Amino acid sequence: MRIIIMGPPGVGKGTEAVVLVKQYHIPHISTGDIFRELYKDRTTVGKIAKEYISRGELVPDDITNEIVRHRLNHQDVKNGFLFDGFPRNTLQADALDELLKSHETEVSAMIALEVDDEVLVQRLLKRGETSGRPDDANESVVRNRIKIYYKQTAILKNYYFDASKYYGVNGVGSVEDITERLKAVINNL
């Protein structure tokens, strides 16, 4: 099963992704986590990525697609994966399609968590108090990430809808409730 979980920043994608990958025994591929690892390890790519991340902007597509290409060459993705935070625009979605085609496979579903904006800003600022993530702590950066999401990423709904791969899930509720909604979709694929 090859799933993309999508939703605006702060919606709880990462939390749900962690629960789902345990249940379905597939790797969790978070491009945000990969970038954070890369800058923790002081790599050149990590340092470049951090500049964009701190401003709440997207890391350039060529860099992002390259780390995904690299990740998809690992053996553990043979039985599927859960992408979290990728693709974030149509060029990345095209790149993912191409990459998967070269592995003779394709995305099974894109599942989007849907939540109201103001709820998100408050959740992210709260997360910033404890997460240590520089892009969570500042309100204008948080708002910028949400704006980019609606400008670039939300368009992907049409992209996957046209491919009959789009599933919307209500992202308001307890972690457990949302997990159940997501599983209902996944188990029906």
Q: Which residues here bind ligand AMP, judged by CB under 6 A?
A: 9, 31-32, 35, 52-53, 56-59, 64, 85-86, 88, 92, 135, 145
- 89 touches 144 (CB < 8 A): no
Nearer to ligand AMP, 16 or 135 (CB): 135
- The shares of helix, strand and coil residues in the chain, as percent rounded to the nearest 5, are 60, 10, 25
133 is catalytic: yes
Q: Which of 2, 50, 88, 165 is catalytic?
A: 88
Q: Which of 2, 13, 71, 165 is catalytic?
A: 13
127 is catalytic: yes
Determine the Cα–Cα distance for residues 112 and 167; give it in Å rounded to an integer.
6
Determine the Cα–Cα distance for residues 97 and 39; give it in Å rounded to an integer.
27
Nearer to ligand AMP, 175 or 184 (CB): 175
**What phi and psi values does residue 29 have, to the nearest 5 degrees?**
-110, 105
From the CB of 14, what's the least distance to ligand AMP, in Å? 7
Q: Which of 36, 69, 133, 143 is catalytic?
A: 133
Q: Which residues are catalytic?
A: 13, 88, 127, 133, 145
